[in-house]
């Protein structure tokens, strides 16, 4: 199984969580790629993945726009 973890982080917390999540998935035998979507123009084909996890920072009840 292969999973893409796409995230957007302003202060680094979401990036840390994405990294830890990838570590946990790998421990369970799941291949995990991490993608910082801020400014990303070369998205990998989603057909390569069995699942996608999207993470974003939240400030004053608003999601960061980049991951969305």
Spatial distance between the Cα atoms of 50 and 3, rounded to a whole number of angstroms: 6
Report yes or no: 3 and 51 within 8 Å, Cβ to Cβ. Answer: yes
Q: What is the DSSP letter of 66?
A: T
Other residues' Cβ atoms within 10 Å of the Cβ of residue 5: 21
The domain spans of the chain are 2-63
Going from the C-alpha of 10 to that of each of 16, 19, 31, 60, the distances in angstroms are 11, 15, 26, 13
Predicted model pTM: 0.82
Q: Are 58 and 14 in contact (CB under 8 A)?
A: no
**Quick one: pLDDT band at residue 68, thresholds 50, 70, 90?**
very low
* Per-residue pLDDT tens digits for 24-34: 999 999 999 99
Tell me yes or no: is domain 2-63 CATH 3.30.70.930: no
Span 2-45, pLDDT tens digits? 999 999 888 888 999 999 999 999 999 999 999 998 877 888 99
């Amino acid at each position: 199984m292969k999973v893409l973890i796409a995230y957007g982080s302003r202060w680094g917390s979401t990036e840390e969580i994405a990294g830890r999540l990838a570590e946990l998935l790998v421990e369970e035998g799941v291949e995990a790629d991490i993608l910082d979507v801020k400014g990303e123009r070369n998205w990998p084909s989603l057909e390569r993945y069995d699942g996608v996890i999207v993470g974003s920072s939240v400030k004053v009840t608003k999601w960061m726009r980049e991951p969305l």
